[in-house]
Amino acid sequence: MPTKTIDVQKAQADLRSLIAQVTTGTEIVLTDGTTPVARIVRADGSPKSRTVGLHPGAMRTSDDFDEPLPEDFWTGSV
């Protein structure tokens, strides 16, 4: 993917042109002076699907997760 670097001040005036370049595959790096501050890249268009079971055992639910909270919780005396 080709990359183009442009100052933020100049990018404001050329935004339509930059978006056209991004749609063809160019990555735009925005700079403030010589410091890179952001990138503009083409959006995928669709969210990536989630994969079930990537972290088995990473979470657990306690046996009393659906029990009412104690009265102390609601009165703030805990």
Rounded CA separation 38/6 (Å): 10
- What is the fold of 1-43? YefM-like fold (3.40.1620)
- pLDDT value at position 63? 92
- pLDDT value at position 43? 86
Q: Is the pTM of this model over 0.85?
A: no
Question: If DSSP codes are grouped into helix, strand and coil, which group holds residue 46?
Answer: coil
Q: Do the beta carbons of residue 31 and residue 6 sit within 8 Å?
A: yes
The one-digit pLDDT tens for each residue of the chain (78 residues) are: 799 999 999 998 999 999 999 999 999 999 999 999 999 998 876 777 888 888 888 888 899 999 998 888 888 875
> In sequence order, what are the beta bridge partners of 29?
5, 39
> In sequence order, what are the beta bridge partners of 35?
32
